[in-house]
Amino acid sequence: MSMTPSTRTLALLLSALVLSGTVAAYTGSVLSRGPVDEFTLTDQHGDAFSFGSDADGVVVVSFMFTRCPDVCPVITLLLTAVEDELTENEQQDVTFVSITVDPEHDTPATLLEYTERMGASWPHLTGNLTEMEPIWAMFGVVVQQNVIDVHVMDYQPGEASVTIVNTSNVSAHHMFDWSGWTTVQILAEEAGWELNVSADETTSMLKAINGVESPTDDSWTWEMNVWNTDEQTWVNHQNGVESLNALDTPHLAWMPSNGNQSSLPTPDEKLDTSMSVLWPNGSVDQQAIEEFNAYHLTRGALEAADVNLSVEDTEYGHYLTGVDDEIAPDDAEWFWNLYSWNNLNETWETSNLGMDDYTEPGHIAWAPSFVNVSTIPSPNLESTGDENACNGHGWEMGSGASKHCMCDEGYTWGDDDPLSCVPETTEDYNVGHSTITYILNDDLEPTVAWTGDNWRVEEFTADVREMLEKEQLAGNEGGFIPSLSMTLSLSTLMAAAVFLAPPRRGSDEA
């Protein structure tokens, strides 16, 4: 039987449509890689996990580290949500696996505590560095150890911030700053030392500490020294207290200019900040802050921003009573509420602690008690500072030794320079500020990749289900099952078939 041109065209269209129906459509980035090699690591229970035999069906592999303050907890919560979205039948054919990029810290016991805290039931794997490095390379993962080192430092006050919401519900965001004068004033207050300071338009000069005044003949003056961490010695600071960033140089000392610098004590560098005073008689006093608290954070951020504030110092601690001349009324019709930012669920929460007891705060907010907490903006906003920072492809976070760029998607640090952002030029994925999550098929071939943590649970879940269908798992028995869009297309083509079909020859046709 011969085919007319129109029916031949229709047949080709139908064939193309049927063939296209067998191609999986993924939302994530589609990869073309061979299967990963067999490897064995240790899970959070101390048991051996053999990837080749223990990872069944569709395999979801993520990379994380437990000291990660931002991306990793979010990834874990997202994958927990994906697991919950799957049916019981689907869960039986999906294996979730998380692999640490910080094996030195992430022991099985540490991973067990993390998984219990995060509600993650699947294997979290670790090993020694010799075992881990070829596995990272096999997955195309570049572990940014310098990023990890920056983020796993002890508390980083340079990344903390204060959000202020005024009585008109207008908000302002201020990064924490610990200037020289703020440091001197707060430490003197906590030590009970009175300061006598003379100031002009540009500089301030300390004249007396607790009544011990420099002589009028200037035979000596009060001189400030700062602790040089690299040289492990005190050095004279000659540029004025105003120029000092006490986050970079947190340990200060005052002494008579004719005193013996070697008499100054070595500061305890485990403390957040300290100030020593060498008195003219040779005796020494020290005052230190072991841990920054919300009071220090509030004072440092707002004084740096020239925002005036009113704080009452009572026998029960410090109480914020006013910000920028907006004073809470005496009748307590409203008061200033302290909020803390929850990084995991990205919401503000009322602080159960006072500003003195809330130690090592990350992001805090102050707002009148009548303000709806849901209207307070997120503190995780990109810096709007120097446009040339990070080569114009990111923004700077932190200060001092911890200062680094948060690079835009597709950019990474250049030549291990944390203050630069350059294009990523390989198919490898950097894990530090960002991360990568793979979906592997039943042959353990990485097929789909999802970068970062800004993805939707339903879209990721759809990719997992697409893979289950392609692999004929979770009750998908194979065969051709047209989608809704394909069904509509077939209906359209069938209608076209009727239209294009040649007329039948009737018996009475001439």
pLDDT above 80 (res 165):
yes
Banded pLDDT at 144 (limits 50, 70, 90) = low
Does the pLDDT value for residue 228 go beyond 50?
yes
Q: Beta strands of 122-263 (E only): which ranges?
A: 124-125, 141-143, 161-165, 171-175, 195-199, 204-209, 212-213, 222-228, 233-236, 251-256
Residue 322 pLDDT exceeds 50: yes
pLDDT surpassing 70 at residue 403? no
Q: What is the pLDDT of residue 428?
A: 43
Supply the pLDDT for residue 207.
Answer: 92
Please write the tens of the pLDDT for every residue from 216-227: 998 999 999 999
CA dist 57 → 75, 105, 360, 460, 468 (Å): 21, 30, 44, 17, 8
Give the rounded percent of residues in the chain with a pLDDT score beyond 70: 76
For residues 328 and 334, is the Cβ–Cβ distance under 8 A? yes
Is 42:127 a contact under the CB 8 Å cutoff? yes
- Two tokens, residue 416: 């291990």
Q: Cα–Cα distance between 72 and 371 in angstroms, integer? A: 32
* DSSP H helix total and E strand total for the chain: 11, 30
Percent of the chain having pLDDT more than 90?
55
Quick one: which H or E segment has residue 348?
A: strand 347-350
CATH: 2.170.130.30, 3.40.50.1980, 3.30.70.2190, 1.10.540.10. Which one for 144-381? 2.170.130.30
- Tokens matching residue 248: 């970079």
Helix 457-470, helix 71-85: angle, nearest 10: 50
Beta strands 212-213 and 204-209, pairing class: antiparallel
- Whether the pLDDT of residue 355 is over 90: the answer is yes
pLDDT reading at 481 higher than 70:
no
**Coil, strand, or helix at residue 293?**
strand
Q: Where are the domains of the chain?
A: 5-20+481-500, 29-140+439-470, 144-381, 389-423
| Contact residues for 208 (Cβ-Cβ < 8 A; gap 6+) | 194, 195, 196, 214, 222
Given a cut of 90, is residue 233 above it in pLDDT? yes
- 13 compared with 168, residue with greater pLDDT: 168
Strand pairing report for 429-431 and 141-143: parallel
Per-residue 3-state assignment (H helix, E strand, C coil) for 393-409: CEEEECCHHHCEEEECC
- pTM for the model: 0.54
Q: Name every residue whose Cβ is closer than 8 Å to that of residue 145 and which is 6 or more positions away in sequence.
A: 432
More confident residue, 246 or 409: 246
pLDDT at residue 499 tops 50: no
Structure tokens at 76: 């874990």
Instruction: Compute the Cα dihedral for 318, 320, 325, 327 and give only its sign.
Output: negative
In a 10 Å sphere around its CB, with 0-12 CB exposed, 13-18 middle and 19+ buried, how is residue 332 labelled?
exposed
- Over residues 473-499, the mean pLDDT reads 52
HSE-CB of 143 using CA atoms within 13 angstroms: 22
Choose the weakest-confidence range: 14-23, 314-323, 432-441.
14-23
CATH class of 29-140+439-470: alpha beta
Mean pLDDT of the chain: 82
pLDDT in tens, 45-94: 999 999 999 998 999 999 988 876 655 677 888 999 999 999 999 999 99
* Tens-place pLDDT, residues 361-400: 989 999 999 999 999 998 875 444 556 778 777 766 554 4
The pairing of strands 251-256 and 273-278 is parallel
Rg over CA atoms, the chain = 32
Question: What gap in Å lies between CA 431 and CA 434, rounded to an integer?
Answer: 5
Q: Which helix (H) or strand (E) holds 180?
A: helix 180-191
Q: pLDDT grade, residue 265 (50/70/90)?
A: very high
Q: Mean pLDDT throughout 248-266?
A: 94
Query: How distant, in Å, are the alpha carbons of 422, 459, 479 from that of 25?
Result: 31, 11, 17
